[in-house]
Amino acid sequence: MHAKNTFATQSLALLLVGNAVVLVTALQLAAPYLSLGIGAVVTLLIWYGLQRIAGPLLQAPAEAAPAPLPEAETPPQVEAPPRPVVPEQPPEAAALQLLALLQREGRLLDFLQEDIRPFDDAQIGAAVRPVHAGCQAALATHLPLAPIRTEAEGSTVTLQEGFDAHAVRLSGHVSGTPPFTGTLQHRGWRVTEVNLPALMQRQDRVVAPAEVSVG
Partner 1 sequence: MADYIVGIDLGTTHCVLAYTEANPEGDPTPPRLLDLPQVVSAGQVQSRPLLPSFLLLPGPHDVPPGSLALPWNGELDYAVGTFARERGAELPARLVGSAKSWLSHAGVDRTAPILPWDAPDDARRASPVEAAQRYLEHLRDAWNHHMAVQGQPTRLEDQTIFLTVPASFDPVARELTVQAARAAGLQYLTLLEEPQAAFYAWIAAHPDTWRDAIEVGESILVCDVGGGTTDFSLIEVVEEGGALDLRRVAVGRHILLGGDNMDLTLAYALRAKLAQQGTNLDTWQFRGLAHQCRAAKERLLNTPDLDAEPISILSRGSSLIGGTIRTELTRAEVEQVLVGGFFPQTEFHEHPQRKARVGVREMGLPYEADPAITRHLAQFLSAQGDGVAFPSVVLFNGGVMKAEILRREILQALRRWSGHPDLRELPPADLDQAVALGGATYGTARQGQGIRIKAGTARTYYIGV
Read out DSSP for 30-92?
T-HHHHHHHHHHHHHHHHHHHHHHHHHHHSPP--SS--PPPPPSSPPPPPPPPPP-PPPPPTT
Rounded Cα distance, 87 and 112, in Å: 31
b (16+ CB within 10 A) / e for 183-210: ebeeeeeeeeeeeeeeeeeebeeebeee
Cβ-based nearer residue to partner 1, 65 or 165 = 65
Q: How far is the CB of 59 from partner 1 (least distance, A)?
A: 14
β partners of residue 145:
191
Asked if residues 207 and 109 have their Cβ atoms less than 8 Å apart, the reply is yes
Pick 64 or 165: Cβ nearer partner 1: 64
Q: What is the dihedral of CA 112, 116, 117, 122, to 10 degrees?
A: -140
Least Å from the CB of residue 199 to partner 1: 6
User: CB of residue 89 vs partner 1: minimum separation in angstroms?
Assistant: 11
Kindly state the smallest distance separating residue 113's Cβ from partner 1, in Å. 7
Minimum CB distance to partner 1, residue 144 (Å): 14
Give 165 or 198: the residue with its C-beta nearer to partner 1: 198
Q: Which of 102, 106, 109 is nearest to 129 (CA)?
A: 106
What residues line the site for partner 1 (CB under 8 A)? 64-69, 71-72, 75-76, 78, 81-85, 97, 100-101, 104, 107, 110-111, 113-114, 116, 119, 123-124, 126-127, 129-131, 133, 195-201, 211, 213
CB nearer to partner 1: pick between 27 and 112: 112
* Pairing between β-strand 156-159 and β-strand 180-183 as defined by DSSP bridges: antiparallel
Nearest to 197 by CA among 89, 40, 71: 89
Q: Quick check: helix, strand or coil at residue 169?
A: coil
Considering beta carbons, is residue 49 or 125 the nearer one to partner 1? 125
| Closer to partner 1 by Cβ: residue 161 or 211 | 211
